[in-house]
Every structure is written in C-alpha cells, then in structure tokens.
Amino acid sequence: MRLIAIDLDGTLLNTESIISPENRAAIKKALVSDCIVTICTGRATFDVKELLNDLDIPIIAANGGTVHDFNYKLLSRTLMDREAGQKAAQYLTDHHIYFEVYTDDALLSPNDGKQKLEAELDIIASANSDADKDTLWQGALTQFKQFGIKPVQNIQDVFNGEENIYKLLCFSFDLDKLEQAKAELSTYPKLALTSSGKHIIEILPDMSGKGRALKELAKHYGIDKKDIYAIGDSPNDFSMFEEAGHRIAMGNAINELKQMSTFITKSNDENGVAYFINQLLENEYC
C-alpha cells in the first residue's frame, strides 16, 4: 500500500483556489488503486472539508495540528501553548501585523484586518513603483476567502477562553517587518515558525509540523517511509518531504524544495498533481 500526501495551496489548488476536475479524478483513481491519499495542509480542517466536497480522505490540517482519518475521525491534535501563543499575538498586535488564530470551529480574524492590509499595501505600492498592486492584493484575498473565517472585535480574547488553538498565521506586505518578526518570534519557547508564502509566517506549537503528522498517519496505516509520496511547493512542506521516500515538487515550487525532490511535476495550473499520480499508477514514475 502507498500513501500519497498532497499539499493544497500552490499544489492541489490552482491559482483560483479550486481543485480541478483532472486532479479530483486522479485522486479518485488512486483511491481504487491500493493507495491512501491524504491532504497535508496549513489550512483548517473545516476549510479542507469544504474544498474536498465529496472526497472522503484523511486530512492533516493546520500544519499537523490535527490528524483526521476517513469520515473525519480525529486521530490526534497538537495544541499551542496558550501563554506562548498569547505572547506571540501580543508582539504581532504591537507591531501592527495582521494575523489569524486557528481554532476548531473558525479562523479568527481582526474585524478591521482587511482595511489595515489595504492601507499597508497602499504605503508599500507608493514607495515601490515596480510593485504589482493587483497581484499582491490577490494574495491577501486568499486569506479572506477561506471557509470559516470569522472577524472578531478583539482577537486576543481567544487566549482567555477554552477554545483549542492550533496555530497563528500572520500576513504582511512589508517584508522587512516580516523578517524582523521572524527573528523575534523564533526566539520564543514552545513555538516553531514556518511559511506557505512570501508574505506569510505561520506560528505553530514546537511539537507540530506536517512531517510529524505524516509520520503518525503512516504508522497508523502500517506504511513504510519508502512507500510515502509527498507532493508540495512551499517551505512548510520541507518537514513532509523529510518523512517521505518519494518527494514530488510542483513545477511552481521553490527551488530549495525542487533540490531535495525525487521528481518535479507540472505546475498547479497545469494539473501537476494529476500528472504525477497518473505517472505513478501507470508505472511510468521511477
């Protein structure tokens, strides 16, 4: 039996944030061909369920924060230390960096977050005549189009409650500000940092990560590392690649991921996931 782990954004999803009919058909074909297919993503479980629709497959969500079996049965969760998360949230608030908090039921977002990002983009664009304002804004809109996003008056109130917290995601057009935040937050105990894009920092529990969760799911099914196929494009896929015997980089993947890959498929807008799966099932992958 083989385990195929697929990232979402930049991988299974095209630039319209849609699973193409070709990719959907390839996954269904794999499921009847002695393969288990799992989604391994930074997105929340409820968001993934909405995207998958009729596909009932295991889900690794929130960068390993939750691991679900078929029929969305919860196998494990890795929660953020509340005090550590609150400290990180305070830093982001103090430095005017937009962020979301991932819980079981919602992606909590500041109710004025969209307006503040628009204002930040105006400042960045006015200082850089080469900036493609429309393309940059489309990147931000991906966050606001996610299923389950919930604007709140005071986002930090969540740390005073009892909701499970899996990760924080921050987004900024100001790359210098992000680099400063990365340098500071990387020193915080009980937390780890990763990224799914140039303008994003994801803050996780230090025991979380796609790789740890993928290893756990493979053990659950008794699948050896040599039979794990990981498909991804971004920095948060590094740990997933490390746990896979076969590492498939998208055509649009970052160079560092391509360098550690065993196969480079087509881009996410060229149905790269379907292309690889069909190569695998037709014994043309080697």
Domains and CATH numbers, the chain: 2-77+208-281 (3.40.50.1000), 82-205 (3.30.1240.10)
Greatest extent of the chain over all pairs of C-alpha atoms, in Å: 55
Q: Report helix, strand and coil shares of the chain as percent, to nearest 5.
A: 45, 20, 35
Q: What is the pLDDT of residue 286?
A: 64
Between CA 59 and CA 66 the distance in angstroms is 8
Between CA 197 and CA 156 the distance in angstroms is 24
Q: What is the pLDDT of residue 136?
A: 83
Between CA 177 and CA 256 the distance in angstroms is 23
Q: Mind telling me the catalytic residues?
A: 7
Instruction: Select from 276, 208, 216 the least CA-distant residue to 246.
Output: 276
Q: What is the pLDDT of residue 147?
A: 86
Q: What is the pLDDT of residue 229?
A: 98
Give the number of other Cβ atoms within 10 Å of residue 111's Cβ.
13
Q: What is the pLDDT of residue 197?
A: 85
Instruction: Tell me 252's DSSP state.
Output: T
Query: For each of the chain's 286 residues, which pLDDT tens digit applies?
Result: 999 999 999 999 999 999 999 999 999 999 999 899 999 999 999 999 999 998 999 999 999 999 999 999 999 999 999 999 999 999 999 999 999 999 999 999 999 988 988 888 888 878 776 777 788 888 777 888 888 899 999 998 999 989 999 999 999 999 999 999 999 999 999 999 999 888 999 999 999 999 999 999 999 999 999 999 999 999 999 999 999 999 999 999 999 999 999 999 999 999 999 999 999 999 877 6
What is the value of pTM for the model shown? Answer: 0.92
